[in-house]
């Protein structure tokens, strides 16, 4: 069985997850993932909201997104 078939089979039987990971150095992580043979699904790019991102899929079919955007800080609750 080819590796891509094995991933599809596992994905069909067990489901998958989507994970978002914040990193300070996406360029280094991208180079490491690519060198290790990761299935890059979205090349390294600058987003319109100011993040530097890329995405990959692992052998179990999980989708990983990596980038610099940490989200907006939570606002303090309004005292009643």
Higher pLDDT, 73 or 23: 23
Concatenated DSSP letters of 4-67 = HHHHHHHHHHH---EEEEE-S-HHHHHHHHHHTT-EEEEEEEE-TTS-EEEEEE-TTS-EEEEE
pLDDT in tens, 12-22: 556 678 999 99
pLDDT in tens, 56-78: 998 888 899 999 998 887 788 77
- 14 vs 7: CA distance, rounded Å: 10
φ and ψ at residue 31, rounded to 5 degrees: -60, -40
In this prediction, residue 66 carries a pLDDT of 96
pLDDT in tens, 27-65: 999 999 999 888 999 999 999 999 999 999 988 888 999
């Amino acid at each position: 069985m080819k590796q891509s078939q094995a991933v599809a089979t596992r994905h069909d039987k067990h489901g998958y997850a989507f994970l978002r990971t914040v990193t300070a150095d996406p360029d280094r992580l991208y180079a490491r993932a690519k060198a290790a043979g990761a299935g890059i699904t979205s090349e390294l790019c600058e987003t319109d909201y100011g993040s530097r991102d890329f995405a990959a899929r692992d052998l179990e079919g999980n989708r990983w997104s990596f980038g610099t955007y940490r989200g907006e800080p939570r606002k303090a609750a309004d005292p009643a």
